[in-house]
Amino acid sequence: MNDKYAGTPLGERELNRGKIFVNSYTPKLHYQWDTGEGIGRYLGELKRGRLIARRCDGCQRILIPPRMFCERCFRPTDEWIYVNDTGKVLTFSLCYVTWNVRRLKQPLIPAVIEIDGASAGMGILHLLKKVPPKKVRVGMRVRAVWRPPAERRGSITDILYWRPATEERE
């Protein structure tokens, strides 16, 4: 049976005792991605404090994030359309760990937010804040909270977070 299932598990202790030879290496993998027309414009408009989408005349859908082709109709999309910075939570989570698995006391609240003005089901990934974790619900209406114009850099993080739309305006 042992022969059938080979393998030598290592525990932290064996590793730390220095008997196991290990070497570490941090690769230098750097990129500068071409955003292209669709996402380039999306980022540019974020900097201006607006969300923009593309319409496909084939399926009549309004697509966000915007793309220059429609993946359903396999044809170029047709027109730029501004959409609102309000929307509805399609789904969410309360996440207690960071991307590199550090524990958090207060959860991050990632959500897919359906954008008002885009077609049904067209969501983007973002974060919710200014809402008690227990109060978050699917279907909740939210609105974007933008960075001050001078601090925006043409990034998805130009929207700081989304907050419940029903609360009083700031």
Partner 1 sequence: MSERVAIIGIGFVPLQPATPRHSFKEMVFEVAQKAYADAGISFEEIDSFVTCAEDFNEGISIFDEYTPDQLGCRQKPMHTLTQDGLHGIADALMQIRAGVADIVVVEAHSKASNIITPDWLLDYALDPVYNRPLGFNPHALAALEMNRFIDQTGITASQCADVVVKNRLNARDNPLAAYALKTNRSTVDSSPYVSYPLHEEELAKYADGCVVIVVANEATAKKVVNQPVWILGAGFANDSPTIESRCWGQAEYARYAAQSAFLQAGIKSVDDIDFFEVDDTYAYKELQHLIALGLYDEPVEAGRATESGETRRDGKTPVNVSGGALGMGLPLEAHGLYRILELVLQVRGQAGERQLSRAKIGVAQSWRGVPTTSGAVVIVGSEAPRG
Partner 2 sequence: MIGAGMTRFMHRALETPKELAWHAANAALASSQLKLKQIDCVVLGTAPDAFDGVHMKSEYLADGCGGRGKPFLRCYVGGGTGVYAVAQAYFQVASGMFDTALVVCEEKMSSCQPHPQAAFLTIFDPITEQPLKPNLLWIFALEQTRYMETYGITIEEIARVAVKNKRNALNHPAAQLAAELTVEDVLGSEIMAWPVHRLMVSPTSDGAAAIVIAAEEVARRVSDKPIWIQGIGWSLDSAYWTNRDLAYPEYVEKAAWMAYDMAGVKEPRKEIHFAEPYDPFAYKELHHLEGLQLAPKGQAPRLLADGVFERDGDLPVTPSGGLLGVGNPIAAAGMMKICELFWQTRGEAGKRQLPGKPERGVAQAWGDLMQVGTVVVMGTKKPD
Partner 3 sequence: MKPSARIEDHRTWPGAIPITSTYTAGVAGQIFFDALKQSGKLIATRCRPCKQVYLPARLFCERCLDALTEQVEIKPTGRLISYTLCQVDRDRRPLRRPQALALVQLDGANTVLLHYLLDVTRPEQISIGARVEVVIKPKRRRIGSILDIEGFRLVHDPEFSSKRTPRRKGR
Report, in Å, the least distance between residue 48 CB and partner 3.
Answer: 8
User: What is the C-alpha end-to-end distance of the chain, expressed in Å?
Assistant: 67
Among 13, 16, 24, 169, binds partner 2 (CB under 8 A): 24
- Classify residue 8 by burial, with Cβ atoms within 10 Å: 0-12, 13-18, 19+: exposed
Among 6, 33, 103, 135, binds partner 1 (CB under 8 A): 33
Binding status of residue 151 toward partner 1 by CB under 8 A: no
Binding partner of residue 132 among partner 3, partner 2, partner 1, none, CB cut-off 5 to 8 Å per kind: none
CB 124 within 8 A of CB 91: no
Pairing between β-strand 79-83 and β-strand 75-76 as defined by DSSP bridges: unpaired
Residue from 79, 41, 42, 45 nearest 60 by CA: 79
Binding status of residue 74 toward partner 2 by CB under 8 A: no
SS3 69: strand
What are the phi and psi torsion angles at 12 (to 5°)? -60, -35
Binding partner of residue 84 among partner 1, partner 3, partner 2, none, CB cut-off 5 to 8 Å per kind: none
Structure tokens at 101: 């698995």
Residue located via tokens 């008690």 = 132
Report, in Å, the least distance between residue 168 CB and partner 2.
Answer: 26
Binding partner of residue 68 among partner 2, partner 3, partner 1, none, CB cut-off 5 to 8 Å per kind: partner 1
Interface ranges with partner 2 (CB under 8 A) = 1, 3-11, 15, 20, 24-25, 27, 31, 33, 35, 39, 42-43, 63-65, 67, 71, 90-101, 107, 110-112, 121-127, 133, 138, 155-157
Interface ranges with partner 1 (CB under 8 A) = 23, 25, 27-39, 67-69, 71-72, 74, 76
